[in-house]
Amino acid sequence: MKKILLSIFALSIGTTLFAQEETAIKANIEKVTVFLQGAQITQSGTANLNKGKHLLKLSGLSPFIQNNSISVKTSENITLINVLSQINYIQAANAPRRLLQIDDSLQLLQDQFDLGVANAQVYEEEKSMILANKSIKGQEALDVADLQDASKYFREHLRELADKIQEAKIHVRGIKKNIDRLHSEKNTLNHTQTKETGEIIMEVYAAQSGNMDFEVTYYTGGATWTPTYDVRAKDINSPINLNYKANVQQSTGVDWKEVQLTLSTGNPSVSGQAPDIYKWTIDNRLPEHKRKFKNELRRADAAAPAYDTEGLSEMSVAKSLSFNYNASVAQEATTTHQYLITTPYTIVSDNKSHKIDVAQHTVAASYKYLAVPKSDPTAFLVAEITGWEKLNLLPGEASIFFEDAFVGTSFIDPSSASDTMNVSLGRDKSILISRTKSTELSKKAIIGSDKTTEITWEIKVRNTKQKAITIVVKDQIPVSINRDIEVSNDIKDGQLDAESGVVKWESTINPADEKIIRFGYKVKYPKKFVVVLE
Distance of alpha carbon 228 from alpha carbon 27, whole angstroms: 33
Q: Which whole number is the average pLDDT over 414-427?
A: 78
| pLDDT score recorded for residue 191 | 58
How confident is residue 412, by pLDDT bands cut at 50, 70 and 90? confident
Residue type, 466: Q
How confident is residue 152, by pLDDT bands cut at 50, 70 and 90? low
Give the three-class secondary structure for 110.
helix
Shortest CA distance to 113 belongs to which of 70, 174, 60, 197? 174
CA dihedral 286, 291, 295, 296 (to 10 degrees): -130
Percent of the chain with pLDDT over 70: 77
Q: How far apart are the first and last CA of the chain?
A: 76
Q: Of the given ranges (91-100, 264-273, 295-304), which has the lowest mean pLDDT?
A: 295-304
How is the chain split among helix, strand and coil, in percent rounded to 5? 20, 45, 35
Distance of alpha carbon 66 from alpha carbon 416, whole angstroms: 35
CATH topology classification for 431-526: Immunoglobulin-like (2.60.40)
Q: How far is CA 164 from CA 127, 159, 161, 337, 483, in A?
A: 11, 9, 5, 74, 96
Shortest CA distance to 285 belongs to which of 321, 309, 311? 309
Q: How far is CA 133 from CA 129, 136, 149, 152, 154, in A?
A: 6, 6, 15, 15, 10
| pLDDT score recorded for residue 210 | 86
Distance of alpha carbon 61 from alpha carbon 52, whole angstroms: 26
Distance of alpha carbon 393 from alpha carbon 388, whole angstroms: 8
| pLDDT score recorded for residue 35 | 92
Distance of alpha carbon 387 from alpha carbon 417, whole angstroms: 11
pLDDT tens-digit readout, 230-279: 989 888 888 888 899 999 999 998 999 999 999 998 888 766 666 777 77
How confident is residue 11, by pLDDT bands cut at 50, 70 and 90? very low
pLDDT of residue 314 exceeding 70, the answer is no
- pTM, full prediction: 0.59
Cβ neighbours of 343 (radius 10 Å): 9
pLDDT tens-digit readout, 34-91: 999 999 999 999 988 899 999 999 988 998 898 889 999 988 888 889 988 888 876 4
Give the three-class secondary structure for 62.
coil
Helix (H) or strand (E) segment spanning residue 191: helix 144-194
- Quick one: three-class SS letters along 246-314? EEEEECCCCCEEEEEEEEECCCCCCCCCCCCCCCEEEEEECCHHHHHHHHHHHHHCCCCCCCCCCCCCC
- Quick one: three-class SS letters along 401-433? EECCEEEEEEEECHHHCCCEEEEEEEEECCEEE
Contacts of range 79-82, beta carbons closer than 8 Å, 24 or more positions apart: 79/204, 79/205, 79/207, 80/4, 80/6, 80/202, 80/203, 80/204, 81/53, 81/203, 81/204, 81/205, 82/6, 82/13, 82/17, 82/202, 82/203
Q: Of the given ranges (70-84, 97-111, 127-141, 309-323), which has the lowest mean pLDDT?
A: 309-323
CA dihedral 159, 161, 167, 172 (to 10 degrees): -150
Distance of alpha carbon 500 from alpha carbon 487, whole angstroms: 13
CB half-sphere exposure, 377, CA atoms < 13 A: 10
Q: Which whole number is the average pLDDT over 420-426?
A: 83
- The pLDDT mean for the chain works out to 79
Residue type, 376: D
Helix (H) or strand (E) segment spanning residue 152: helix 144-194
Contacts of range 504-508, beta carbons closer than 8 Å, 24 or more positions apart: 504/472, 504/473, 504/474, 505/472, 505/473, 505/474, 506/368, 506/470, 506/471, 506/472, 506/473, 507/461, 507/470, 507/471, 507/473, 508/468, 508/469, 508/470, 508/471
Are the beta carbons of 505 and 518 closer than 8 angstroms?
no
Shortest CA distance to 495 belongs to which of 480, 476, 510? 476
Distance of alpha carbon 66 from alpha carbon 393, whole angstroms: 29
Distance of alpha carbon 15 from alpha carbon 361, whole angstroms: 57
Higher pLDDT, 488 or 275: 488
pLDDT of residue 289 exceeding 80, the answer is no
| pLDDT score recorded for residue 197 | 84
- Range ranked top by mean pLDDT from 229-233, 305-309, 401-405: 229-233
Shortest CA distance to 78 belongs to which of 58, 50, 59? 50
Are the beta carbons of 206 and 212 closer than 8 angstroms?
yes
Residue type, 44: S
Are the beta carbons of 274 and 324 closer than 8 angstroms?
no
Ordered by start, the domain boundaries in the chain are 2-89+196-221, 97-135+145-194, 225-269+335-428, 280-321, 431-526
| pLDDT score recorded for residue 476 | 93
**Helices 144-194 & 97-132, crossing angle to 10 degrees?**
160
Q: Which whole number is the average pLDDT over 498-523?
A: 93
Phi/psi at 36 (nearest 5 deg)?
Answer: -60, -30
Contacts of residue 290, defined as CB under 8 A and 6 or more positions apart, other chains included, come to 312
